Amino acid sequence: MVKKKSGNSFLDYSWKVPIIVVFFSIYILHLFFNTVLIPLRVNSISMEPGINQHSYLFYSSVGMPNNIIPFNRKIPRGTVVVLAAPYHETLPIGLNWLNTVYRFITLNIADLNRMKHLGKNPYMVRRVIGVPGDTIYMTNNIAQIQPESDDGRVENRSEYFTSEFELIQKNYVILSDEQKTRDWPKNLPLLGNTERVTLRQGEYFVLADNRDIGNDSSYWGPIGIGQIRGRVLFQYIKKKKNL
* Lowest mean pLDDT segment, chosen from 30-34, 67-71, 104-108, 203-207: 67-71
The reply to whether 36 falls in a domain is: no
Separation CA 16–CA 154 (nearest Å):
63
197 assigned to some structural domain: yes
Residue 30 lies in a domain: no
* Structural domain includes residue 175: yes
Domain range spanning residue 214?
41-86+122-237
Cβ atoms of 73 and 144 within 8 Å: the answer is: no
Domain contains 167: yes
- In terms of Cβ atoms closer than 10 Å to its own Cβ (0-12, 13-18, 19+), residue 104 is middle
Give the number of other Cβ atoms within 10 Å of residue 59's Cβ: 23
CATH label of the domain that carries residue 179: 2.10.109.10
Q: What's the pLDDT tens digit per position in 136-162?
A: 999 989 999 999 876 555 544 557 899
Residue 45 lies in a domain: yes
Q: How many domains is the chain built from?
A: 1
Q: Is residue 98 part of a domain?
A: no
Asked whether residue 142 is assigned to any structural domain, the reply reads yes
pTM over 0.85? The answer is no
